[in-house]
């Protein structure tokens, strides 16, 4: 089995851990959390928590070069992915056995496909995408890097979603809609028209409620 570290040590890491155990290909040796203050002896699911990036680099020198992402925040996941890539790590995706994914799907690095997810032919999933529990992505959609499609969300055919956008739980997006980057679609929304970048939109039908373009990005 391949030794691997998981970046994240909270609820999202529970999901990634479960999926990796089901695949039976990886041995989880550590978790990484350089944000939450923790004791140096604290563990998660019986494995040590590495509290600094230097600790992870130390594992790299020992030959542990595979890392899976368990970070729900899209911007943070983007930054961590870039750092791992620049540091030479192999970023591993995780696909639950109950997900249904066409063989005619382009899948980037570090993609998470949760239980019951359905991804149809002609879809492109960029790096670091999350297709969460029971979410569906129909034919021809483009899901850009570091997008999070939340549980139960449903995207019809030929939808475009820009980088780092979050599509909330139970949302429905009709066919051929374009949603910009760094946008948030609130839970339970029905998206009937295009939504620009840096927006917060929600409701039935979804309407733009806030412009995020002036907010400082998360580092």
What are 152-176's pLDDT values in tens digits?
Answer: 999 999 999 999 999 999 999 999 9
Q: Is 217 inside any structural domain?
A: no
- Report the predicted TM-score, pTM, of the whole model to 2 decimal places: 0.93
Sequence-distant (6+) residues with CB within 8 A of 194 are 177, 178, 179
Do 81 and 114 fall within a single domain? no
Do 115 and 86 fall within a single domain? no
What pLDDT is recorded for position 153?
98
What pLDDT is recorded for position 58?
95
The tokens for 171 are 């949302």
CA angle 136–138–74, rounded 5-degree value? 55
DSSP state of 36: S
What pLDDT is recorded for position 24?
87
Mean pLDDT of 28-44: 87
What pLDDT is recorded for position 35?
86
- pLDDT over 70 (residue 79): yes
Q: Is 150 inside any structural domain?
A: yes
Do 10 and 38 fall within a single domain? yes
- pLDDT over 90 (residue 135): yes
Mean pLDDT of 194-212: 94
Do 107 and 196 fall within a single domain? yes
Domain count for the chain: 2
For residues 189 and 198, give the distance between their C-alpha atoms in angstroms, rounded to a whole number.
Answer: 17
What pLDDT is recorded for position 214?
58
Q: For 208, what's the count of Cα atoms within 13 Å in the CB-facing half-sphere? A: 14
Range of the domain at 107: 95-207
Do 79 and 115 fall within a single domain? no
* Residue reference for tokens 């899976």: 68
What pLDDT is recorded for position 216?
46
Q: Is 215 inside any structural domain?
A: no
What pLDDT is recorded for position 31?
97
Last residue of one domain, picked from the residues 92, 107, 139: 92
Last residue of one domain, picked from the residues 48, 64, 92: 92
As a whole number, the mean pLDDT across the chain is 94
* Range 30-38, long-range pairs (CB < 8 A, 24+ positions): 30/5, 30/6, 30/56, 30/59, 31/5, 31/6, 31/7, 31/70, 32/5, 32/6, 32/7, 32/8, 32/56, 32/67, 33/7, 33/8, 33/9, 36/9, 36/10
What pLDDT is recorded for position 217?
44
- pLDDT over 60 (residue 215): no
Q: Is 144 inside any structural domain?
A: yes
Do 60 and 141 fall within a single domain? no
* Residue reference for tokens 């790590």: 89
- pLDDT over 50 (residue 218): no
With a pLDDT cut of 90, the percent of the chain lying above it is 90
With a pLDDT cut of 70, the percent of the chain lying above it is 96
202 near 168, Cβ under 8 Å? yes
Do 113 and 202 fall within a single domain? yes
Last residue of one domain, picked from the residues 92, 118, 133: 92
What pLDDT is recorded for position 139?
98
CATH number at residue 112: 2.160.10.10
Do 113 and 184 fall within a single domain? yes
CATH number at residue 31: 3.40.50.20
Do 57 and 87 fall within a single domain? yes
- pLDDT over 70 (residue 143): yes
Q: Is 142 inside any structural domain?
A: yes
Do 66 and 127 fall within a single domain? no
What pLDDT is recorded for position 199?
97
Distances 105 to 60, 116, 125, 129, 139 between C-alpha atoms, Å: 31, 16, 8, 13, 9
Do 84 and 102 fall within a single domain? no
pLDDT higher for 111 or 219?
Answer: 111
Q: Is 100 inside any structural domain?
A: yes
Q: How many CB atoms lie within 10 A of CB 140?
A: 17
Q: Is 148 inside any structural domain?
A: yes
Do 101 and 201 fall within a single domain? yes
Mean pLDDT of 17-31: 95
């Amino acid at each position: 089995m391949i030794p691997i570290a998981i970046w994240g040590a909270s609820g999202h890491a529970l999901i990634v851990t479960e999926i990796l155990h089901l695949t039976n290909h990886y041995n989880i040796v550590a978790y990484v959390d350089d944000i939450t203050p923790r004791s140096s002896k604290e563990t998660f699911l019986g494995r040590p928590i590495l509290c600094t990036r230097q600790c992870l680099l130390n594992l790299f020198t020992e030959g542990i070069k595979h890392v899976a992402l368990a970070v729900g925040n899209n911007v943070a996941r983007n930054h961590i992915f870039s750092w791992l890539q620049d540091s030479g790590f192999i970023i591993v995706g995780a696909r639950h056995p109950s997900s249904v994914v066409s063989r005619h799907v382009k899948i980037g690095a570090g993609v998470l496909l949760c239980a019951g997810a359905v991804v149809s032919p002609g879809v492109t999933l960029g790096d670091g995408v999350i297709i969460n529990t029971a979410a569906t992505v129909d034919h021809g959609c483009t899901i850009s890097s570091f997008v999070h499609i939340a549980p139960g969300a449903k995207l019809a055919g030929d939808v475009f979603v820009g980088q780092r956008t979050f599509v909330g739980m139970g949302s429905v997006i009709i066919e051929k809609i374009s949603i910009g980057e760094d946008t948030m679609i609130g839970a339970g929304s029905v998206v009937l028209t295009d939504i620009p970048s840096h927006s917060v939109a929600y409701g039935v039908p979804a309407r733009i409620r806030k412009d995020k373009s002036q907010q400082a990005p998360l580092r």
